[in-house]
Amino acid sequence: MLSSEFKTGIRILANFIKRYKKEYAKGIAFSIISAMFSALIPMIIRYGIDLLESGTNYKSVIFTGSLIALFGMSRSILLYIGRNHIVITGRLIERDMREKTFEKLLITKTEFFDKEGTGKISSQIINDIENVRMMLGFGGMIISHIAPVFVFSLILEFFISPILATIALIPLVFIPIIVITHEKKIFELSELVQEKISEITNFSQEIFSKIKIIKNFTIEDKVGEKFSHLSSEYKKSNLTLSKQRAIFESLIVLFSMLSIVAVIIPGYHLLDIGVITKGDLAGFIAYQLILAWPAMAIGYLFAVIQRGVACLWRINRIFEQPQEIPDLSVYYEHKNIPK
């Protein structure tokens, strides 16, 4: 079941993504076509090795190598175009989110600024929205590529050898379990880290605005001690989050590598008894290497999404604040500001 914070984040994002859905669709389409080229390269390798085993001439080898190079170039070009669309769209959404947040702050009641502090609000506008952009840009880029690569590679693995494909999937089954068990803890720690950043920013803002008072009362040492304490708390929370992510990502990499090891021994046995050819085994190992990247990328992707959702939840608290001015156009007319 999705957490309430995640549902809130999805609802906020949907309002911003709606405007750029065509751009995202283009980026995803190019990424899917690129994934198709990536998934076909091991099949060409399989075909080429089987040709060598049958004693083919050098022209066939040159043709196979040229085909691999052509598919590789096509895959890279299409992937670049797709990623470019997605990353630029993430930047545009970041701009819209900043503008909407600023407009909301213009009409928010002053009690909110007294309670939160300008430093904390500045941190949310700068750092939190930047993390959301990372989730939409780099996170969207990774999802749009690894998902179709994983699906296409898995289908073609079953085409080569259903037995080996089933064996290779056994270690990968543990990856969703690892994600579920670590999800809540990493989210809570990500939110805590963002809160600590806001506290440091808010405290720094207060110091600069009250520097004369601090000097007049000669309390520089106390201010320095408090700043050191806040920095130490931020460091501790960040190290705790880093340790949790290190455990999570290490387990992901371990099980993705085990899937490759699990294929080699039974694959050699099937080759020895003549069930599969050398080309089949080479192509299958190539697919496992392709699948290893999506599995390992889950760790980074999960961290980006969790940090982005935590930041969205914090930004939403600004959007939910009561307004001091019912309509922003009234503010513009009162101050004679052009819209």
The two three-digit tokens of residue 51, written as one number: 């040709």
Sign of the Cα pseudo-torsion (238, 243, 247, 253, in order): positive
Give the integer Cα–Cα distance in Å for 61 and 57: 7
Instruction: For residue 297, give both structure tokens.
Output: 């990328």
* Whole-number Cα distances in Å, 224 to 184, 221, 227: 34, 5, 5
Alpha-carbon distance of 339 to 330, in angstroms, equals 11
What whole-number distance in Å separates Cα of residue 60 and Cα of residue 132? 50
DSSP-based three-state secondary structure for 140: helix
- Give the contacts of 119 (CB within 8 A, at least 6 positions apart): 198, 201, 202, 203, 204, 205, 206
Residue 269: the pLDDT is: 86
Question: Which residues face 117 on adjacent strands?
Answer: none
Interatomic CA distance for residues 329 and 327, integer angstroms: 5
Q: What is the pLDDT of residue 316?
A: 83
- Residue 29 has a pLDDT of 93
Sign (positive or negative) of CA dihedral 131, 132, 138, 139 = positive
Say whether 323 sits in a helix, a strand or coil. Answer: strand
Q: Give the residue from 79, 51, 86, 85 showing the smallest Cα distance to 65.
A: 51
Q: Provide the token pair at 36.
A: 């198709």
Assess contact for 148 and 79: CB atoms under 8 A: no
Confirm if 220 and 161 have CB atoms less than 8 A apart: no
Residue type, 154: L
| Cross-strand partners of 28 | none
For position 108, what pLDDT does the model report?
Answer: 83
Q: What is the pLDDT of residue 9?
A: 66
Adjacent-strand bridge partners of 323: 108
pTM of the entire structure? Answer: 0.73
Return the pLDDT at 126. 78
What pLDDT, on the 0 to 100 scale, is given for residue 55?
A: 72
Which of 237, 261, 257 minimizes the C-alpha distance to 249? 257
Q: Are 106 and 331 in contact (CB under 8 A)?
A: yes
Of the chain, the end-to-end C-alpha distance in Å amounts to 43
Query: Which residue segments constitute the domains of the chain, with CATH numbers given?
Result: 4-21+83-335 (1.20.1560.10)
Neighbours of 249 (CB within 10 A): 19
Q: What is the pLDDT of residue 331?
A: 52
**Mean pLDDT per 10-residue segment, the chain (339 residues):** 60 82 90 91 87 76 88 93 90 88 83 75 78 84 84 87 86 79 79 81 80 83 89 91 86 83 84 85 85 72 78 82 66 50
